[in-house]
Amino acid sequence: MLLCVEETRELRGCVDVPGSKSYTHRALFTASLGKKSRIRNPLVSSDTLATRKACEALGAEITERGNSWIVEGVDGIIDFREEVIDVGNSGTTLRFITPLAALSDKWIKITGDSSIRERPMKPLLDSLREQAEIESNGGFPPLRLRNKGGSLDGKTRIRGDVSSQYISALLLAAPLRGLEINLEGELKSRPYVDLTLEVMEKAGIKVDRMDGGFYVGRQSYSGLDYRVPGDYSSAANILAPCSFIDSDVELRNLYRDRQGDRRMIDILREMGVPLKQGEDYVKVRKAESLDAVEFDASDTPDIVLPLVAVACFAQGKSVFRNTGHLRFKESDRLEACNEFRKLGASVEVLRGDIEVKGPMKAQPADMRGFHDHRVVMALASAALNTAGGVSRIDSADMLNVSFPNYLGVMKSLGARMWMEE
């Protein structure tokens, strides 16, 4: 599918931001490992549905009731109902289900689409080798795991500088047996680990932070009654075009929570964008003048691409540092940054940094979406500010991964967008 984008002169209105993908994944796993729970306002997308399916394979029973999911969990008992788990395109599901498969008495196969089969898993697999028998394709999916007959209790070491999802995955499984997790190197994307700890705490789990790691004693997950807040990662792709197109937009369901991508608000303010944040909303208008910015992306990789789109229209050179881990997302997002050049942007990827010199006079272009939802939305943001003509971005079907109603939301604000096959 192609996302077609035309020049848009103004954005006006009030929209509800969809539930957080990160929180929905974590709430589903914690609820599935515990007793009876209710998850309110979950994000329903291809990624979160992959996690729901994986949790059902684990043994949880999940039903819909209004805008909630009711979860009958396994109460800490690992007895998979299915021996093959297809995670589709969801890297989070892949990482989170793997340590649980390592607790199974029977072989569990974990596979996914072509993108998943390119997602590195070696650091996480290495951390499980003392407890599990593991088969993989050189550290990549498909995977097969089963418990060696022991348990996960004890100690393990894992790199912290590749993916925070490895650490979150170990943390989610740790209460079932008890585990000390020692980190090697700097922990990247720390806010995502904080989200995991937050949801685990709401399910009654105590995690002790140590110098260089975590200790989790053997415990039982309790039930949850949890409301999923709005997703700042998705909101970033609404805020971005509002910063350089005449706008008056209110985004609802955005709370002052622990999502690292809340930094989008601070960075846009630094760039000159007028924003007002309440308890559960953010209002945004176009900046009179956009200033360049320097930004360390170590902890918040998912807002880099929408910020690159904004930087294309800012005065001066913006620099995004410590972006190397963007190579290991749904696509190589550093390579994907080069697509902005087709619109006329001056974008350079230098080692682990991205440099953007603005402002550009954007012209319509045909661009690759790299089968990556965040790439598609970021390119679409910039394409809204082109001069005449139509831009086309492939991989538009991938919007279902995190923001299924992105097109409807943007059109409701006045964006000139549509789909073509």
- ∠ CA 222-228-232, nearest 5°, is 135
Separation between Cα atoms, residue 331 and residue 336, nearest integer Å: 8
Separation between Cα atoms, residue 301 and residue 294, nearest integer Å: 14
Looking at 225, 302, 332, 397, which residue is catalytic? 302
Burial bucket for residue 191 (CB in 10 Å: 0-12, 13-18, 19+): middle
Burial bucket for residue 37 (CB in 10 Å: 0-12, 13-18, 19+): buried
3-class secondary structure per residue, the chain: CEEEEECCCEEEEEEECCECHHHHHHHHHHHHHCCEEEEECCCCCHHHHHHHHHHHHHCCEEEEECCEEEEECCCCCCCCCCCEEECCCCHHHHHHHHHHHCCCCCCEEEECCCCHHHCCCHHHHHHHCCCEEEECCCCCCCEEEEECCCCCCCEEEEECCCCHHHHHHHHHHHHHCCEEEEEECCCCCHHHHHHHHHHHHHCCCCCEEECCEEEECCCCCCCCEEECCECHHHHHHHHHHHCCCEEEEEEECCCCCCCHHHHHHHHHHHCCCCEEECCCEEEEECCCCCECCEEECCCCHHHHHHHHHHHCCCEEEEEEECCHHHHHCCCCHHHHHHHHHHHCCEEEEECCEEEEEECCCCCCCEECCCCCHHHHHHHHHHHCCCCCCEEEECCHHHHHHCCCCHHHHHHHCCCCEEEEC
Residue with tokens 């039903």: 63
302 classed as catalytic: yes
Residue 383's nearest CA partner among 307, 309, 319 is 309
Known catalytic residues are 302
